[in-house]
Amino acid sequence: MSTSAVNQSIAVKSAVLHRVRVPFVEPFRISNGVVAEKDAILIELTTGDGVAGWGEASPMSGAFYSSDTPDSSWTALKEQFVPALLSLDHVDPARCHEFLREQPGDQFSRAGIEGAVWDAYAHTRGMALCELFGIQPRAVPSGVAIGIFDTIDELLERVQRYVADGYQRVKIKIQPGWDSEPVAAIRAKFPELPLLVDANAAYTIDDLQIFRELDRFQLMMIEQPLAAKAVAEAGELQKHLKTPLCADESAESLAALEQLIGNKAARIINIKVQRVGGLSEAHLMLQAARAAGLQCWVGTMPELGIASAQALQLAMHAGFSFPTDVEASSRWYIDDVVEPAIEIDNNGFIEVPRGAGSGFRVSREKVERYTTAIEKVVS
């Protein structure tokens, strides 16, 4: 990040945790299960100067992508992270991730707390988050992620819809029994479509033949084919394929990234701000991955607009090679908690509003509308 941008700290005087539930437009299905609403925790910090900063801790319900859940993050924030943060006289945003590493708890909570700290600091300075990280503003290319359906006809209809909306590439979820056939159907109808598949760790190295079948479809990448800890096996699998493997669940930290690099287990890294513990950790992982010759892109859980907007500030970094998974608000939700809503243009780009913080405003009225629980903490 910029060495000159961070030259003051902030005093955080109070925190409010908002537990919110926002319904999805339609249920989202992957190999691990189905989810129909976004259950997230919004963190609102207020400084001694009265400046508010917002963050979001956004694990999926039911341990969808990880062992962490909204319930476990709520407990960790309320009992560990928020009290620890409020015990500090001043918070240096550039060092906050180091402090949070030392606290027990989950990565999603760390990401939410750090996001709120950076947001409060950015509004205190009147600067965009990208400026604080030394990132030049640009429009962010967006790709769509599509779940698993009961029929190939349903899948093709969704692909057609999102291609017409302008998304620059399509990702489909796969699982055993739903892999080469749907990919072949998409390729037959959309032969030139930039396409990738995401297995969410649903396969083993014994499924090599399936990946060899997928290898003939000119895919951009195969995302997380094996279990998160099966790093050596992923390195062996990559030796047999032309298609690059992309690490997602395996790329949970800088230490995990080092293992991936050492085993040559991926050529591409999906960096999710929530999964790795915040913007600073994500930025460090980008630098490490690029130094090792790996390509990167910004993923999503997906999150609501607060975390998505902050991820877009990072996704403007020129070091990211592929369209982000951050999509239009209306792609996922019947509503969102930021204004304006996140939108893509006809060419598949997200134009990030200029302004302090993420460029988007948090709608307190919408936050209150979807709040199911609230916790206030004062230092």
pLDDT tens digits for range 54-63: 999 999 876 5
Q: Which domain holds residue 117?
A: 12-126+366-378
Chain-wide mean pLDDT for the chain? 95
Residue 2 forms part of a structural domain: no
- CATH number of the domain to which 206 belongs: 3.20.20.120
CATH number at residue 372: 3.30.390.10
My answer on whether 175 and 293 are in the same domain is yes
Rounded average pLDDT over 223-240: 98
- SS3 track for the chain: CCCCCCCCCECEEEEEEEEEEEEEEEEEEECCEEEEEEEEEEEEEEECCCCEEEEEECCCCCCCCCCCCHHHHHHHHHHHHHHHHHCCCCECHHHHHHHHHCCCCCHHHHHHHHHHHHHHHHHHHCCEHHHHCCCCCCCEEECEEECCCCCHHHHHHHHHHHHHHCCCCEEEECECCECHHHHHHHHHHCCCCCEEEECCCCCCHHHHHHHHHHHHHCCCCEECCCCCCCHHHHHHHHHCCCCCEEECCCCCCHHHHHHHHHCCCCCEEEECHHHHCCHHHHHHHHHHHHHCCCEEEECCCCCCHHHHHHHHHHHCCCCCCCCECCCCHHHHECCCCEECCCCCCCCCEECCCCCCECCCEECHHHHHHHEEEEEEEEC
Whether 4 is covered by a domain: the verdict is no
Question: Could you give the CA distance from residue 114 to residue 314 in angstroms, rounded to a whole number?
Answer: 14
Region 101-127: mean pLDDT is: 97
Percent of the chain whose predicted confidence (pLDDT) is above 90: 92
User: What share of the chain in percent tops pLDDT 70?
Assistant: 96
pLDDT, tens digit (0-9, with 9 covering 90-100), for 289-312: 999 999 999 999 899 999 999 999
- 113, 142: one domain: no
In a domain, 5, yes or no: no
Shared domain check, 90 and 153: no
The answer to whether residue 104 scores a pLDDT higher than 80 is yes
Spatial separation of the C-alpha atoms in residues 95 and 111, rounded to whole Å: 13
- Residue 301: per-residue pLDDT: 86
Assign 31 a pLDDT band (cuts: 50, 70, 90): low
- pLDDT for 281 beyond 70: yes
Which residue is it, tokens 């769509």?
A: 144
Arithmetic mean of pLDDT, 151-173: 98
Residues 28 and 158 in one domain: no
Q: Mean pLDDT, to the nearest integer, of 333-343? A: 97
Residues 31, 154 within the same domain:
no
Residues with Cβ within 8 Å of 231's Cβ and at least 6 positions away in sequence, in order, are 250, 256, 259, 260, 263, 265
Please, how many CA atoms are within 13 Å of residue 231, restricted to the half-sphere of its CB?
16
33 and 157 co-located in one domain: no
pLDDT tier for residue 7 given thresholds of 50, 70 and 90: low
Three-state secondary structure readout of 37-98: EEEEEEEEEEECCCCEEEEEECCCCCCCCCCCCHHHHHHHHHHHHHHHHHCCCCECHHHHHH
Half-sphere exposure of 307 (CA within 13 A, CB side): 30
234-240: long-range pairs with CB below 8 Å, 24+: 234/260, 234/263, 234/265, 234/266, 235/263, 235/264, 235/265, 236/205, 237/205, 237/208, 237/211, 238/264, 238/265, 238/266, 238/267, 240/208, 240/211, 240/212
169 in the same domain as 122? no
Q: Are residues 29 and 99 in the same domain?
A: yes
The residues annotated with a catalytic role in the active site are 173, 272
Which one of 6-15, 66-75, 350-359 scores highest in mean pLDDT? 350-359
Query: Within a domain: residue 1?
Result: no
- The answer to whether position 164 is within a domain reads yes
Strands 268-271 and 245-247: parallel
Res 94 pLDDT > 70: yes
Examine residue 92 and state whether it is found in any structural domain, yes or no: yes
Domain for residue 232, yes or no? Answer: yes
275 plus 337 within the same structural domain: yes
- Look at residue 5 in the predicted model and tell me its pLDDT: 45
Mean pLDDT, residues 1-30: 81
Total tally of structural domains belonging to the chain: 2
Q: What is the pLDDT of residues 46-93, one digit of tens each?
A: 999 999 999 999 998 765 556 789 999 999 999 999 999 999 999 999
Query: What is the pLDDT averaged over residues 102-119?
Result: 97
Residues 115 and 165 in one domain: no
Considering the domain architecture, whether residues 311 and 347 belong to the same structural domain is answered as: yes
Predicted local confidence at residue 6, as pLDDT = 47
One domain, residues 116 and 193? no
* Mean local confidence (pLDDT), 151-157: 98
Q: Report yes or no on 236 lying in a domain.
A: yes
